Amino acid sequence: MYKETANKNLFGFWVYLMTDLLSFAALFATFAVLRNNTFGGPAGNELFSLPYVLTETLILLTSSFTAGLATLAMHKNEVKKTLVWFSLTFILGATFLGLEIHEFAKLAAEGNTPQRSAFLSSFFTLVGTHGLHITVGLLWLLIILIQVLRKGLNPRLTNQLQRLSLFWHFLDIVWIFIFTIVYLLGAI
């Protein structure tokens, strides 16, 4: 009975991820339409530091790798390794989020806020939505790590960690598109 419920929950989570994908698709479409509407303000090539964003990208991709290693350890019921790898995932994710917040603060300090142009509005909305998802993922991960520390790995927590890992990998895929469409194409 539990396995049937877990399978339904996993299917429901995939449905959620697909609806989230549609939301991001709409944000990407909006950005694509508005990316050249700078209203006399700076364009992406004047604002973005590709080495900085590449550092963010490598950190987030590494967090996806550590999440994968944590999932492998979890399936082997290796509690300590699961905790270590997911803790590293948390640290890398928090570092990525800190870098993203720093980028936003720097842009705002220079007067490049969402109110300045349609381009900046769509940029902050798209990248900020991804950052919000990272924040939710970090909170979710922290709560589950505390539960695993207290209760060990049980079927319920294993299923939650599996869904969290899917969510984290999804966010990495979305970031690859953000990196490519917003930053790389914006630097041209």
- Other C-beta atoms closer than 10 Å to the C-beta of 119 total 23
Distance CA 37, CA 122 (A): 10
Q: Which of 25, 24, 35, 53 is closest to 121 using CA atoms?
A: 35
Domain map (residue ranges) of the chain: 2-184
Query: What pLDDT band is residue 4 in, cutting at 50, 70 and 90?
Result: low
pLDDT digits (tens, 9 = 90+) for 122-154: 999 999 999 999 999 999 999 999 999 999 999
Question: Which pLDDT does position 131 carry in this prediction?
Answer: 98
Assess contact for 32 and 24: CB atoms under 8 A: no
Instruction: Encode 93-145 in three state secondary structure.
Output: HHHHHHHHHHHHHHHHHCCCCCCCCHHHHHHHHHHHHHHHHHHHHHHHHHHHH
Question: Which pLDDT does position 43 carry in this prediction?
Answer: 92
6 has a pLDDT exceeding 90: no
| pLDDT (mean) for 34-56 | 92
Question: Which pLDDT does position 38 carry in this prediction?
Answer: 87
The SS3 of residue 81 is helix
| pLDDT (mean) for 11-20 | 93
186 has a pLDDT exceeding 90: no
Classify domain 2-184 by CATH number: 1.20.120.80
Query: What pLDDT band is residue 39 in, cutting at 50, 70 and 90?
Result: confident
Question: Which pLDDT does position 58 carry in this prediction?
Answer: 98
Average pLDDT, the chain: 94
Q: Give the predicted TM-score (pTM) of the model.
A: 0.93
Distance CA 163, CA 92 (A): 19
pLDDT digits (tens, 9 = 90+) for 51-86: 999 999 999 999 999 999 999 999 999 999 999 999
3 has a pLDDT exceeding 90: no
